[in-house]
Amino acid sequence: MLLLSSDGCFLVDRNFKFRRVQLRFPCKNMSEFHHFTLLDGEMIIDTISPEKQERRYLIYDLIAINRVSIAELPFCERWKLIEKEVVDPRKNERRAMDKHPKPPYRYDLEPFRVRRKDFWLLSTVGKVLKEFIPKLSHDADGLIFQGWDDPYVPRTHEGLLKWKYPEMNSVDFLFEVGEDGAEYLYLYDRGKKRLMDNNRVAFGDGFDSPSSYAGKIIECSWDSEENVWVCMRVRVDKSTPNEFNTYRKVMKSITDNITEDVLLNEINEIITLPMYADRIRMDSRSQKKGKPPPAKMERN
């Protein structure tokens, strides 16, 4: 999350640790600054060229504006307010600063860029998968389907539908090494460590000795041919592994093996149903009038 206040801007991680960052967020009237505005989003790294990478914070939800909670507003309204209340004032002030011979503030010196995350109509999933995602300058592991009228749901949102490319289904384990050199994988089960018996992990090329990862959270994908978990990366942003229920859901997703073709076929059937077809027409008209599109976003 990103908390905007008159005392500064603060990144808030999963463990609710705050880190102050040098960012500027003027309000619409341009004479005041945001105070206790709370954003939800994610940090990505865009590869601009082989020699240049750039951090970017993508805002995908807005929880409060200047001390006023908007968590109960429909998602479509919150998404629209991100641009109107947060992003546009920054753009307008930056344009004015760029024309100033000695600008009082340098946006180009901020530690990362900020923009709103894109969402699309359910009917555009095919185009997003085949045209948009392949052109992204950062990695994407699948899709998230966001309810158009949903209020903001903290922690786990059971109504959120996620789809990942089969090879990107993953679980975050706690990795431990015993005194005898034996390797162990743990999850959490009701707040306690749970040993995952008969589960092995493999570290491929580019990784250090397994013992160097002892006590760390590692994200792993499943290799069904070798029946082994394969370490993808160390989750430096996490201090606890996934819950056992999350593991069960991931394993079900792997077993179900919902491919891209299956996903697109199901969506093509869904959008022809009267209730969806009518809603898509309505939201398409709203989009042409400058209102935001609903339903789906690409996950990074």
Structure-model confidence comparison of residues 300 and 108, the more confident one: 108
The yes-or-no verdict on residue 291 having pLDDT over 50 is no
Q: How far apart are CA 71 and CA 49, in angstroms?
A: 38
Token digits of residue 28: 């619409």
Q: Give the tens place of pLDDT for each residue, 172-202.
A: 999 999 999 999 999 999 889 999 999 999 9
pLDDT for residue 224: 87
pLDDT for residue 31: 87
Q: Give the tens place of pLDDT for each residue, 48-69.
A: 888 889 999 999 999 999 999 9
Q: Give the tens place of pLDDT for each residue, 60-93.
A: 999 999 999 999 999 999 999 999 999 999 999 9
Q: Give the tens place of pLDDT for each residue, 106-118.
A: 999 999 999 999 9
Q: Give the tens place of pLDDT for each residue, 119-166.
A: 988 889 999 999 999 988 888 888 999 888 899 998 778 778 889 887
pLDDT for residue 177: 96
Q: How far apart are CA 162 and CA 173, in angstroms?
A: 20
**3-class DSSP state for residue 83?**
helix
DSSP secondary structure letter of residue 116: E
Q: How far apart are CA 174 and CA 186, in angstroms?
A: 5
